[in-house]
């Protein structure tokens, strides 16, 4: 069994900071401490930090939308994630329009055969009947323990409150976790129709037709449904101050509610959508205000928000112009499809590789969060919530050797030339970063060394997740 000793580093976990060596044997961490192991490879990590590989709980890879597809698949998206220090991602399976969940599970498993890092799945529940309700328990046996629902996208994805309540009760019975996208679909539909009738077609109207108070309303309704169903619930991509207020209210009143936010909601506002390239910032829910940015930072600082996802769903800004990717020219139709009509712009932004470096600089270097809180937000909390801990998200013996050797002093002028997403832009273009991954290991295999890629198509493994996971 191949051994590798990482010496003289500082181990950063969600709860501890310790000067220690770490031994990898095969795919696992076998020991930590003051180690002297003969006949083994040695990496000197003096001056470096050793952290568990990141876990991104919210990505959309190879996702069909508006006549095109998100531009990162399970190979390219995993590669981009790894360059940013993430070694496991959780993707979403779309429920088929008719028939069994199994139809889509097989489709997404086939898509993921090319995965370059480890992965798991959430299941979308976008239609309900008795057959769907009866099939939910079978997901647990396949390691799919989360059920995502929507309070928006009327006539396509949305479930009414009664059916959300039914799913939540089933989830509670079988140790599963409901997840909810919180916006007010009825209000959105009215405002979109009015905007188009008035000739308002530019990207900023995507944000103006999705009010922040509608998101807050949906968070509170979701919390009340979860309380009545005696179920835990996880709010995806929280992006508003009013929504965060409802999260705090629910948690203070005994609702087993957890929340995720995403990096763009910490930095960007509706004004970015007013730029000539405003379509780059279109995602759902949309960018908000500086007040919302500040509020979300406080949610990270005080523990009201438990995880940092990305909602990574990239599209080309100009899909008519090829970029070079791994020596080949590639172009995929993207946001130009909505030129002249904001409702036709594919919703989503890149971010899978940005998440950890951007949060380190803006959160840890700035003093807003500690290195331990960084590890909790980007890895350990998600591993616990989604039934992967301690196999993922930890540095304890027996855990998978998903390890990031982090250089806290590395300075990087960030942007599309550094990020490895398969798209033609980066939201953080020109950002000055301090702190960046130097080495990234997936189950003991070196996949990134500085800016070199050693990973392979298909080396990622499916991660079955355990039910009745932690509620933080």
Q: How far apart are CA 358 and CA 86, in angstroms?
A: 13
- What gap in Å lies between CA 71 and CA 322, rounded to an integer? 12
- DSSP one-letter code for 273: G
Q: What six digits make up the tokens of 469?
A: 């996971």
CA distances from 18 to 13, 86, 262, 342, 463 (A): 9, 22, 29, 50, 29
pLDDT in tens, 335-393: 999 999 999 999 999 999 999 999 999 999 999 999 999 999 999 999 999 999 999 99
| Residue 398 forms part of a structural domain | yes
What six digits make up the tokens of 220? 């509170």
Distance CA 472, CA 306 (A): 7
Q: Is 268 helix (H, G, I), strand (E, B) or coil?
A: coil
Backbone angles phi, psi at 453, to 5 degrees: -105, 125
List the CATH number of the domain containing 414.
2.30.40.10
Residues 28 and 69 in one domain: no
Considering the domain architecture, whether residues 105 and 163 belong to the same structural domain is answered as yes
φ, ψ dihedrals at 386, nearest 5° = -105, 20
Between CA 420 and CA 215 the distance in angstroms is 32
What pLDDT does 452 receive?
97
Q: Answer yes or no: is 465 within a domain.
A: no
8 Å CB contact between 357 and 440: no
* 210 lies in the same domain as 288: yes
Closest CA to 78 of 268, 352, 416: 352
Is residue 40 a contact partner of residue 291, using CB atoms and an 8 Å limit? no
* Residue 295 to residue 422: CA distance in whole angstroms: 32
Tally of domains in the chain = 2
In terms of domains, do 345 and 295 share one?
yes
Residue 55 DSSP symbol: E
In a domain, 472, yes or no: no
Strand partners, 406: 49, 437
Do residues 294 and 442 share a domain?
no
Backbone angles phi, psi at 377, to 5 degrees: -70, -35
> Quick one: pLDDT at residue 309?
98
For 33, 262, 379, 456, the CA distances from 113, given in Å and listed in that order, are 37, 27, 23, 12
**CATH label of the domain that carries residue 172:** 3.20.20.140
- What does the pLDDT read at residue 233? 98
Q: What is the largest CA-CA distance in the chain?
A: 75
Between β-strands 41-44 and 118-124, what pairing exists: parallel, antiparallel or unpaired? Answer: unpaired
Same-domain pairing of 150 and 214: yes
**Among 87, 80, 85, 89, which Cα is nearest to 60's?**
89
* Same domain membership, residue 225 and residue 96: yes
Report d(CA 186, CA 326) in Å as an integer. 44
Question: Whole-angstrom distance between the N-terminal and C-terminal Cα of the chain?
Answer: 37
Q: How many CB atoms lie under 10 A from the CB of residue 181?
A: 23
pLDDT of residue 401: 98
230 in a domain, yes or no? yes
Looking at residue 53, the DSSP 8-state letter turns out to be P
Q: Are residues 307 and 343 in the same domain?
A: yes
Distance separating alpha carbons of residues 81 and 87, to the nearest angstrom = 7
Tokens at 79, concatenated: 């590669």
Alpha-carbon gap, residue 423 to 80, rounded angstroms: 11
pLDDT, residue 2, reads 86
Give the angle subtended at the CA of 298 by the CAs of 370 and 49, to the nearest 5°.
15
Q: Tell me the β-bridge partners of 177.
A: 146
* DSSP assignment string, 306-318: -EE---B----SS
Residues of the chain where predicted confidence (pLDDT) is lower than 70: 1
Range of the domain at 352: 54-382
In a domain, 268, yes or no: yes
CA distance 58 to 381: 13
pLDDT value for 39: 87
Same domain, 84 and 227: yes
Based on the domain organization, do 72 and 38 belong to the same domain? no
**CA gap 443, 4 in Å, rounded:** 12
Q: Is residue 343 part of a domain?
A: yes
Pair 131, 44 in one domain: no
Position 462 in a domain: no
Residues 19 and 102 in one domain: no
H or E stretch including 77?
A: helix 76-83
Instruction: Compute the distance between CA of residue 47 and CA of residue 19 in angstroms, rounded to an integer.
Output: 10
The DSSP code for 445 is: E
Of 90, 58, 93, residue with least CA distance to 313:
58
Query: For tokens 């438990």, what's the residue?
Result: 306
- 387 assigned to some structural domain: no
Residue 75 and residue 113: Cα distance in Å, rounded? 9
| pLDDT of the residue at 1 | 66
């Amino acid at each position: 069994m191949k051994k590798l000793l990482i010496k003289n580093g500082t181990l950063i976990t969600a709860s501890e900071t310790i000067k220690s060596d770490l031994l990898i044997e095969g795919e696992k961490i076998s020991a930590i401490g003051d180690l002297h192991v003969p006949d083994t490879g040695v990496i000197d990590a003096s001056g470096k930090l050793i952290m568990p590989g990141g876990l991104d709980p919210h990505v959309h890879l190879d996702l069909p939308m508006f006549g095109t597809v998100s531009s990162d698949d399970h190979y390219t998206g995993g590669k981009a994630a790894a360059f940013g220090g993430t070694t496991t991602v959780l993707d979403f399976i779309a429920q088929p329009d008719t028939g069994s969940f199994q139809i889509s599970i097989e489709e997404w498993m086939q898509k993921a055969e090319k995965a370059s890092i480890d992965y798991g799945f959430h299941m979308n529940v976008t239609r309900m009947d008795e057959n769907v309700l009866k099939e939910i328990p079978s997901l647990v046996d396949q390691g799919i323990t989360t059920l995502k629902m929507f309070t928006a996208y009327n006539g396509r994805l949305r479930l009414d409150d009664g059916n959300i309540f039914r799913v939540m009760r089933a989830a509670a019975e079988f140790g599963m976790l409901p997840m909810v996208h919180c916006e007010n679909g009825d209000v959105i539909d009215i405002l979109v129709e009015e905007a188009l009738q008035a000739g308002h077609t530019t990207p900023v109207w995507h944000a103006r037709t999705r009010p922040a108070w509608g998101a807050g309303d949906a968070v509170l309704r979701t919390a009340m449904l979860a309380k009545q169903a005696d179920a835990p619930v996880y709010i995806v991509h929280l992006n508003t101050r009013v929504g965060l207020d409802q999260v705090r209210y629910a948690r203070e009143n005994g609702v087993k509610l957890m929340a995720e936010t995403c990096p763009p909601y910490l930095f960007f506002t509706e004004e970015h959508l007013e730029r000539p390239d405003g379509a780059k910032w279109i995602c759902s829910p949309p960018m908000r205000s500086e007040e919302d940015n500040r509020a979300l930072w406080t949610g990270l600082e005080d523990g009201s928000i438990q995880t940092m996802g990305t909602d990574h769903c990239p599209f080309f800004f100009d899909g008519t112009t090829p970029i070079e990717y791994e020596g080949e020219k590639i172009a995929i139709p993207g946001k130009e499809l909505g030129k002249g009509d904001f409702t036709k712009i594919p919703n989503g932004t890149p971010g899978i590789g940005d998440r950890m470096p951007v949060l380190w600089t803006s959160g840890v270097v700035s003093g807003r969060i500690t290195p331990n809180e960084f590890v909790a937000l980007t890895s350990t909390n998600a591993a616990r919530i989604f039934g992967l801990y301690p196999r993922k998200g930890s540095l304890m013996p027996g855990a998978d050797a998903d390890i990031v050797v982090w250089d806290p002093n590395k300075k990087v002028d960030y942007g599309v030339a550094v990020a490895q997403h398969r798209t033609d832009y980066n939201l953080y273009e020109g950002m000055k970063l301090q702190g960046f991954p130097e080495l990234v290991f997936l189950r003991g295999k070196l996949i990134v060394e500085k800016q070199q890629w050693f990973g392979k198509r298909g080396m990622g493994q499916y991660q079955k997740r355990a039910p009745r996971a932690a509620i933080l």
